[in-house]
A and B are shown apart, each in its own frame.
Chain A
Amino acid sequence: MTGSRKPHSPWTRPPLTRRDVLKGSAAAAAAYGLIPDFGLAADIPNEYDGSKFQLAAAEPNPKRGGVLRYGITSRPPHFDFHQSGTINSLGSQGCMFDNLIRRDPRDSGKTIIPDLAHSWTISKDGMTYTFMLRKGVEFHDGAELTADDVKATFDRISKPPAGVSIPRSILFKAVSEINVRDKYTIEFKLSEPRPPSYIMGALASGWNGIVRKKTLEDNQYNLRKVVDIPGTGPFKTKRRIEAEIWVMERNEKYWNKGLPYLDGVEFHHGLPFSPELSSAFLGGRTDYARLLDPVSARKVASTPGMSSLNFYQSVIQGTWPNTKKKPFDDPRVRRAVHLVLDRHVLVDVVKDVAPMLVGGFIYPFSEFATPLDQLTKKPGYQTDSTAAVKEAQELMKAAGHANGIKGLDFLVREVATFKLWSQAIQAMLQQTLNIECKLRPVVESVWFDDIKSGNFDMAIGAIVSTLLDPSDYFNAWYKDGGPQNYSNWNNPKFLELLPKIDTEIDAAKRIALVREAEAIMEADVPMFPICWEKINDGWYNYVKGHNPKDYFGIYDVVRMDTMWLDK
């Protein structure tokens, strides 16, 4: 047995709480480590020396050996995970790669810890980030990792060449230069300030695994067809059957001594919330299942020897009004519809299909959002919607729609939750505002076609972000011209505010700016938030070394290096 846990190091759970830090101990925080919360500048120390850091499982005596059978959706559209936006890619490929820095799997990904970079410094002006790399790290093909590989990786991510499209390039918009200082030192220079938590969060995203410069060059910077991309990660490819199984074996030369504990991982493909996924798990064909449907999750939770919990996902479920067409070009109509959606009922409607959480325009569990207890006192989020409906009816009257609206085209993606919600929303609008919608269920590809061409009045769907930080999703979801601003919303005040939010370093001031943006969106509604997704995981109790309790999404903790089997 190897990999016994090291004595307390600055990189395990920090002894300080965020409250301590906010009381004025930022310097102490920098000295002791990172604070277990997302998002604030104080979370990230400006200098860190982690040259002796090695990761180990949180449990005292992890066992070595065994193969973990992991049920997850695993039919990647291609193998270039940087170019992907789906867990079908990262869910199985993530364990083949390491990041520059990463989120700690032991504390549910709250803390950022070293990875291929053992140490870093952030300049006082916050414009230069320097990372010191580990020496002697090998890719699966035997080549040594150098700063050139890191530069090639992030050059491609931040500024993809022609023919390559990377959804998260926008996270690195402020990165103007990536310089190799020496073989083991890499430097990121910014053109304008960004909160360190934002830049470090972007670098630590599970999507940003490091690949070889030579691999990129050999494949003209497009890895879509390369099944076995050499990474430095704890596992490497052994066997793969399309849309059935991907078998990984232990990387015997892994740089983190003692890791991984498992001899291998078998990723068994099972669609999210599907009976195949749950039956494979309940029938003992898999040890761990990600994205279980709620009914199966409840069964798992009540079965001895198994565990289940749900955690936050980085996805908002919403309905987009077409603001370029009547009647939704009128903010009063949008606000009226926003008010009459009973979000508590909408969460309840799908409770047996997918777990959800009430929220507004900002991740409701993040400190950037109005706290949930305050939010649920606002019209549109209350359990008793009487006042909200009254206000909505007055708005409709003022907008010249006192008698309601007929014949709205409601575009619905062919997904169980959207179909249920669209019917509930149809009934809510009819009963409260006399708005009649015609539901138009379509497959995913048609939905996006019609969204692109503006062929809808309302459209129900879901969108995802990489970071919890509003600068990521505000630019994508709400900014005019943003790739997921499906309603084509354009609010000058918001657009004026957005660069300030992006560049504000002071955490308290930034929160105030975000709340200002939230108020703008409540008045001039860009979309109708339905709720925020959660994820159900289930596992047999002998699966150890994981802690999904407070994950933010399913994209950041995908390495499986600390997981082990207690049998």
Chain B
Amino acid sequence: MFSYIVRRLAFGLLTIIGVSIVVFVVMRILPGDPLVAIFGPDGYTKLPEQERASLMAQLGLSDPLWLQYWRWVKDIARGDFGRSFFRSESVAEMILRRGPLTAQIAFLSVLFSWLVGIPVAIVSALRPNSWADNVVRFFSILFLAIPGFWFGMLMVLGLLFTFGYRAPLTGASLLTDPWTTLQIIIGPAIVLGLGQAAYIARLARSSLLEIIREDYVRTARAKGLDGRRVIALHALPNALLPVITLSGLLLGFVLAGSIPVERAFGTPGLGLAMFTAVSERDVFVMQNLVFLYAVVFVVLNILVDIIIAWLDPRIRYQ
């Protein structure tokens, strides 16, 4: 198991290095002048050429690319994620402030996806092609097809025009103000969770359909166990292995999905920060957030691999 973990970590590290190079190069070859964001269109047009060159040098954007990359890697190694070059807070401060909200949305959405997806999958697998199965499959395809941001906007508008309700505007801490936090995160979590629940339901259904035809399930039934116990104790644990893998991946995708969904809800999380950074061409914020997302994704994958290996001895003995 130890060598398995070391192997996974080594692959993870290589992936992160590769991602850092790709992220850095892409950010630098993107066209556009970041000084427009700093000075605004009006100020930018009135900026003398000499001033412009001096400011680019101050930002370190005039140095050779390899030097810029090396500095960035060193900063990250020191835990310094740099500064937005036209915001007052550092990227690390922004991540610490906004990250918890996005993490809460991500975990709540995964929880929500299990709470919805698994029961749905069981119903669907135990009664294949019944009306219940058809309804469930219809909705799972529907929620797979609906873009999260659109569903989010509908939810915002529906609540607004039906109940005159709008979630609080400013971020809060779960510890100091759980009610406000819940109001902020529940909408995005439902939207993201329903999309994931559809994936979970479809995968768990097919997995369960396969498992319940296995010999050991038939044996359990033959021994006289009641159907619920057979499903709960014998079939479901094995059927859930691919679902765990998928949930780990989906947790990573939730981070990416949170960008348009947080935008739709106006949620002050990392997703909205990423959206803003892209629209403002805030290179350092974009670069560090994309890198952070990539690291989180890789770490989640490694964790899932380890959990699966722990749950399924066949993997760690390979």
Q: A residues near B, CB below 8 A?
A: 75, 77-79, 83-86, 88, 162-163, 165, 167, 169-170, 225, 227, 241-245, 268, 270, 275-276, 279-280, 282-286, 442-446, 448-449, 452, 461-464, 476, 483-484
Contacts and interface: CB of A to CB of B under 8 A. Distances in A.
B44 A448 contact: yes
Interface string B295-315: 000000000000000000000
A448 B42 contact: no
Nearest to B276: A243
Contacts of A449: 31-33
Interface string B149-184: 000010011011000111011110000000000000
Interface of B: 31-34, 36-48, 51, 54, 86-89, 94, 97, 153, 156-157, 159-160, 164-166, 168-171, 264, 266, 268, 273, 276, 279, 281
Contacts of A241: 97, 170-171, 268
B86 to A, nearest CB: 4
Contact of A445 (B42, B160, B273, B281): B281
A150 to B, nearest CB: 23
A241 B160 CA distance: 25
B160 A443 contact: no
Contact of B87 (A242, A285, A442, A464): A242
B69 to A, nearest CB: 21
A86 B40 contact: yes
Contacts of A242: 87-89, 94, 97
A165 B266 contact: no
A88 B164 CA distance: 28
B169 A77 contact: no
16 contacts: A84-B39, A85-B42, A165-B46, A165-B48, A170-B46, A242-B87, A245-B169, A275-B156, A275-B157, A275-B266, A282-B166, A283-B160, A284-B166, A448-B44, A448-B45, A461-B41
Given A163-B51, A282-B164, A484 B36 contact: no
B300 to A, nearest CB: 27
A225 B88 contact: yes
A443 B32 contact: yes
Contacts of B94: 242
Contact of B42 (A282, A442, A452, A464): A464
A418 to B, nearest CB: 12
A483 B168 CA distance: 42
Among A84, A167, A445, residue most surrounded by chain B Cβ atoms (within 10 Å): A445
A445 B166 contact: no
Nearest to B44: A448
A172 to B, nearest CB: 13
A279 B276 contact: no
Given A163-B51, A445-B34, A275 B153 contact: yes
Q: Which 4 A-B residue pairings sit nearest by Cβ, starting from the closest? A: A283-B166, A85-B42, A445-B32, A276-B266
A228 B40 CA distance: 21
B169 A83 contact: no
A275 B160 CA distance: 11
Nearest to A169: B46
A282 B160 contact: yes
B31 A75 contact: no
A283 B31 contact: no
Contact of A77 (B33, B40, B45, B48): B40
B34 to A, nearest CB: 6
Contacts of A84: 39-40, 43
A85 B88 contact: no
Contacts of B45: 448, 463, 483-484
Given A165-B39, A241-B170, A78 B46 contact: no
A446 B31 contact: yes
Nearest to B166: A283
Given A85-B40, A241-B268, A286-B169, 7 more contacts: A77-B86, A170-B46, A243-B273, A244-B170, A285-B169, A445-B32, A449-B33
B156 A77 contact: no
Contacts of B38: 77-78
A60 to B, nearest CB: 32
A165 B169 contact: no
Contacts of A284: 164, 166
A242 B165 CA distance: 24
A19 B166 CA distance: 49
A516 to B, nearest CB: 27
Contacts of B273: 243
A169 B43 CA distance: 11
B42 to A, nearest CB: 3
Among B47, B51, B170, B264, residue most surrounded by chain A Cβ atoms (within 10 Å): B170
A322 B166 CA distance: 46
Nearest to B282: A77
Contact of A227 (B54, B86, B88, B279): B88
B206 to A, nearest CB: 38
B43 A165 contact: yes
A280 B169 contact: yes
B266 A279 contact: yes
A279 B166 CA distance: 7
A471 to B, nearest CB: 16
Nearest to A89: B40
A163 B33 contact: no
A554 to B, nearest CB: 13
B33 to A, nearest CB: 5
Contact of A443 (B44, B156, B157, B279): B279
B112 to A, nearest CB: 23
A258 B6 CA distance: 70
A162 B52 CA distance: 11
A551 B166 CA distance: 30
A167 B281 contact: no
Contacts of B88: 79, 225, 227, 242
Contacts of A452: 33
Nearest to B83: A225
B177 to A, nearest CB: 14
Contacts of A75: 87, 276
B230 to A, nearest CB: 49
Nearest to A286: B169
Given A244-B170, A283-B166, A484-B45, A78 B86 contact: yes
Nearest to B267: A276
Contacts of A77: 37-40, 86-87
A268 B170 CA distance: 8
A443 B89 CA distance: 24
Contacts of B44: 448
A417 to B, nearest CB: 14
A257 to B, nearest CB: 33
A85 B41 contact: yes
A167 B169 contact: no
B124 to A, nearest CB: 36
Contacts of B153: 275
A493 B86 CA distance: 42
A480 B97 CA distance: 48
B166 A167 contact: no
